[in-house]
Amino acid sequence: MNRRTWTNDLLIEAGRQFDLRGEFLEGGPYGTGHINDTFAVVYDQAGTRVRYIHQRLNSNVFKDPARLMENVRRVCRHTARKVAETAPPGDVSRRALNLVPAADARPYWVDDAGDYWRTYFFVEKAATHDVITSTEQAREAARAFGIFQAMLADLPAGDLHETIPDFHNTPRRFKTLKDAADADACGRAARAGPELEFAFSREPLANTLIDLHAAGKIPARITHNDTKLNNVMLDESTGEGVCVIDLDTVMPGLSLYDFGDMVRTATSPAAEDERDPSKVRARPEMFEALARGFLASAGSFLNETERAHLVTAGKLLTFENGLRFLTDFLSGDVYFKTARDDHNLDRCRTQFALLRSLEDQESSFDKIVDSVDSSSSGKR
Ligand code: ADP
Ligand code: GN1
Ligand code: MG
């Protein structure tokens, strides 16, 4: 059966499966994630409006949703325990994602179309941002992702499944792009000539972090792997990074992947899908704030080689996402959600413009890292 079109009745049915109490008031699509279908729903519980998030998982992207949900449940439990030790009283439930179990105690419900659903408590008084406007937001987001890595440091890697194999295998992403260009299944390659040329000219960048890892210079850790800025919730009034969300790709990875994706999503003043790539640039002050935030929370466990490759990580993740968007454009927009023609091509162009800007400023950004590192090492 085909994926069901969302209606209030479908959301009410989901609410019953997760045993949500009270009366359904309203609900609808929520957020700007590219992968899952996210819905916010509001229930009246004895006179109080209580919100929840339902998510219908993308079965094209996640081939084994039951195992994925085992990971998510493990990570939620682990972080909730850690947060309980440190969070201010009264704020514990907002600082880690909390799953609502389904009526049969599993962490998911499967609808009659075969789609998997999960439900979270809504993290209130906080927001996600697609584009950030202040250095405080950058610093807080990076600090929160660093804390998240630190919280997972003692979770045995063997406890987690690999939800998407080779997720950050950039050389493989490069090869997939080449294959898509050769196949040109949708006859779109001719429209992406300059982007393909740019991608092919940067091939050596793809190997940088994977080679350092293979040489034993940077370790695998449990990482988030999808640290775009709208995957962390910032407190509405204080701006503090309160809760890391979107746990589908938490698995062994490199710390630098997480830092690199923050650079990709926080340094540009333009949206990821901006149509005019001339608006894209890497803002040094945002980069500095990210480095400050991340080194404040992750600096104590990052080794020398990791600290020396923060700028490389930003370039790599920006490149990798450009490759992925371009591949999806050539393949007919089958992976990322799109809302218009050429959406993935526009996204690819912003990534490549950002990579150029990072390359142009590489030596000054490296100096920023050195100065942040020496000022924060005194505090470690
Ligand atoms: P995707 O994998 O599609 O990116 P996300 O898990 O990132 O899905 O969720 C999409 C958006 O929904 C987030 O960017 C955030 O704005 C919102 N969201 C997700 N979970 C919660 C939550 N527990 N509380 C509040 N908002 C949430
Ligand atoms: C997707 O799920 P979301 O929208 O937070 C993607 C990331 C990409 C990002 C690009 C599981 O992130 O890897 O970097 O889009 N997530 C998955 O915006 O593929
Ligand atoms: Mg997301």
102 Cβ closer than 6 Å to some ligand 1 atom:
no
31 Cβ closer than 6 Å to some ligand 1 atom:
yes
| Same structural domain, 193 and 279 | yes
Is residue 6 assigned to a domain? no
| Same structural domain, 321 and 344 | yes
| Same structural domain, 238 and 210 | yes
User: pLDDT tens across 258-304, in order?
Assistant: 999 999 999 999 999 999 999 999 999 999 999 999 999 999 999 99
Q: Which domain-ending residue is among 124, 145, 170? A: 124
| Same structural domain, 199 and 301 | yes
What is the total count of domains within the chain?
A: 2
Is residue 33 assigned to a domain? yes
| Same structural domain, 232 and 258 | yes
Confidence of residue 380 (pLDDT cuts 50, 70, 90): low
CA 228 – ligand 2 centroid, Å: 8
Is residue 114 assigned to a domain? yes
Q: Which CATH number fits the domain that encloses residue 261?
A: 3.90.1200.10
Asked if pLDDT for residue 231 goes beyond 80, the answer is: yes
249 Cβ closer than 6 Å to some ligand 1 atom:
no
| Same structural domain, 224 and 102 | no
- By residue count, the chain amounts to 380
Average pLDDT, the chain: 96
CA 312 – ligand 3 centroid, Å: 23
Domain extent, residue 42, equals 11-124
Is residue 209 assigned to a domain? yes
| Same structural domain, 146 and 120 | no
| Same structural domain, 187 and 73 | no
* Long-range contacts from 172-177, C-beta under 8 angstroms, 24+ separation: 173/206, 173/320, 173/323, 173/324, 173/327, 174/199, 174/203, 174/206, 174/323, 176/323, 176/327, 177/323, 177/326, 177/327, 177/330
Locate the ligand 2 atom nearest the alpha carbon of residue 230 and give its number. 5
| Same structural domain, 209 and 289 | yes
**Whose alpha carbon is nearest atom 12 of ligand 2?**
34
Point out the ligand nearest to the CA of residue 122.
Answer: 1
Is residue 4 assigned to a domain? no
Beginning with the edge strand found earlier in the chain, give each strand of the sheet holding 48-56 in spatial order.
23-29, 37-45, 48-56, 116-121, 109-110
140 Cβ closer than 6 Å to some ligand 2 atom:
no
User: pLDDT tens across 26-71, in order?
Assistant: 999 999 999 999 999 999 999 999 999 999 999 999 999 999 999 9
Q: Which domain-ending residue is among 78, 105, 124? A: 124
User: pLDDT tens across 241-261, in order?
Assistant: 999 999 999 999 999 999 999
Asked if pLDDT for residue 338 goes beyond 80, the answer is: yes
CA 25 – ligand 2 centroid, Å: 31
- Tell me the average pLDDT across 102-113: 95
Is residue 264 assigned to a domain? yes
253 Cβ closer than 6 Å to some ligand 2 atom:
no
- The pLDDT, as a whole number, for residue 379 is 59
- Model-wide pTM > 0.95: yes
**Whose alpha carbon is nearest atom 19 of ligand 2?**
35
Q: Which CATH number fits the domain that encloses residue 66?
A: 3.30.200.20
Point out the ligand nearest to the CA of residue 249.
Answer: 2
| Same structural domain, 153 and 54 | no
Is residue 102 assigned to a domain? yes
- The pLDDT, as a whole number, for residue 378 is 59
Is residue 129 assigned to a domain? no
Q: Which domain-ending residue is among 70, 101, 124? A: 124
| Same structural domain, 120 and 143 | no
| Same structural domain, 71 and 186 | no
**What residues have CB less than 8 Å from 44, skipping those under 6 apart?**
22, 23, 25, 50
Asked if pLDDT for residue 90 goes beyond 90, the answer is: no
Asked if pLDDT for residue 349 goes beyond 70, the answer is: yes
226 Cβ closer than 6 Å to some ligand 2 atom:
yes
CA 306 – ligand 2 centroid, Å: 23
